[in-house]
Amino acid sequence: MQTILVTGGCGYIGAHTIVDLIEHGFEVISADNLSRASDNSLAGIEKITGKKVKNYKVDLTDKLATENIFKENPGIIGIIHFAAYKAVGESVEQPLEYYENNLFSLVHLLKMAVKYNAKHFIFSSSCTVYGNPESIPVTEETPLQTAASPYGATKQMGETIVRDTAFTYPLSTILLRYFNPVGAHPSTAIGELPIGRPQNLVPAITQTAIGKLPTMQVHGTDYDTRDGSCIRDYIHVCDIAHAHTLALQYSIKKNAEKSCEVFNLGTGNGITVLEAIQAFEKVSGVKLNYELGPRRAGDIVAIYANNDKAVKQLGWNCKYGLEEMMLTAWQWEQSLAKK
């Protein structure tokens, strides 16, 4: 069995990826300090896969604690690095916390990857690296603009750190630029569970629909788009998760040292915020209580992906459409209400 360390493994995308990895024959251990997630997801992973996953409650900005994971698990061949702060608005308010957390943890993990020969390194990047792109859809070759938020800047810097490290040491690295992950595992055993008020659109929608929140706000209605709201590329979390398994398999098969490749993970469809709300109302039958508000700092106007490279080289395809994304998110929210 090939052992993979998944950092941020109790988080939203991390937990779904652990499920996909286990279903494709990998042994997985998790590192998550639970500052932004709950270890309840470990029970959900076990329910789906029948496997109990060990989580190290470690802050990856602590180098010694990070190294202890590798000392205890000498067979780690690869790392999938999710652990990071990820709220755009919060990063504008707390830039130093974002730079410290997101960059120090990455540097420490790369040092361990080199020292302990965990040569397959997959970095959780983001479409925020494109900033406000001059044209859409964006490809992997689209020039990166100035990031619109400190969060986006940490992803740009993170990519640079991974690339520079990969070209010096015997690592095979892959940068996966996600667009907007939404939805939940069809079993409803795991899903998105933000701590505090949701920063992302879909949990804000589902929490409003079920009554956890009295109302939600659409940030900006005067953008140059079809209906004035921002355009994003929403993609089901299970599709994102499977891309990590494919990327890992690709890296292992190719076995190229001192390499760094980039892939966009999006559906290729640009959806406005208001269109996403309409899709939710259609599948749920719930009329959403939302307000139209001003623009939010750090938001860009529009972005969606050209995903041809991932489709061609990784053999990846999106299985879920927008309505299925919304339906699984809603079923997850309803399952939480029953607990």
Residue 30's SS3 state is strand
Q: How sure is the predictor about 87, in pLDDT bands with cuts at 50, 70 and 90? A: confident
Contact call for residues 45 and 18 (beta carbons, < 8 A) = yes
Say if domain 3-182+235-265 classifies as CATH 3.40.710.10: no
Bridge-based pairing of strands 172-178 and 55-56 is unpaired
Is the model's pLDDT at 194 over the cut of 90?
A: no
Correct CATH for 201-232+268-305+319-338 of 3.40.50.150, 1.20.1730.10, 3.90.76.10, 3.90.25.10: 3.90.25.10
Element containing residue 314 per DSSP (H, E): none
The DSSP bridge partners found for residue 318 are none
Contact call for residues 174 and 309 (beta carbons, < 8 A) = no
Is the model's pLDDT at 234 over the cut of 90?
A: yes
Query: What are the φ/ψ torsions at residue 209 (nearest 5 degrees)?
Result: -65, -35
Mean pLDDT score of the chain: 96
The single-letter DSSP state of residue 310 is I
DSSP string, 203-234: HHHHHHHHTSSS-EEEE-S-SSSSSSS-EE-E
Mean pLDDT of 223-243: 97
pLDDT number for residue 189: 98
Where are the domains positioned within the chain? 3-182+235-265, 201-232+268-305+319-338
Residue 72's SS3 state is helix
pLDDT number for residue 298: 84
| Model confidence pLDDT, tens digit, residues 144-178 | 999 999 999 999 999 999 999 999 999 999 999 99
Bridge-based pairing of strands 76-81 and 172-178 is unpaired
Which sequence positions are flagged as catalytic? 151
pLDDT number for residue 305: 98
CA dihedral 190, 6, 195, 278 (to 10 degrees): -50
Residue 265's SS3 state is strand
| Model confidence pLDDT, tens digit, residues 284-296 | 999 999 999 999 9
Residue 128's SS3 state is helix
Is the model's pLDDT at 196 over the cut of 90?
A: no
Burial label, 188 (beta-carbon count in 10 A; 0-12, 13-18, 19+)? middle
Is the model's pLDDT at 43 over the cut of 90?
A: yes
User: Would you tell me the crossing angle of helices 201-210 and 322-338 to the nearest 10 degrees?
Assistant: 50
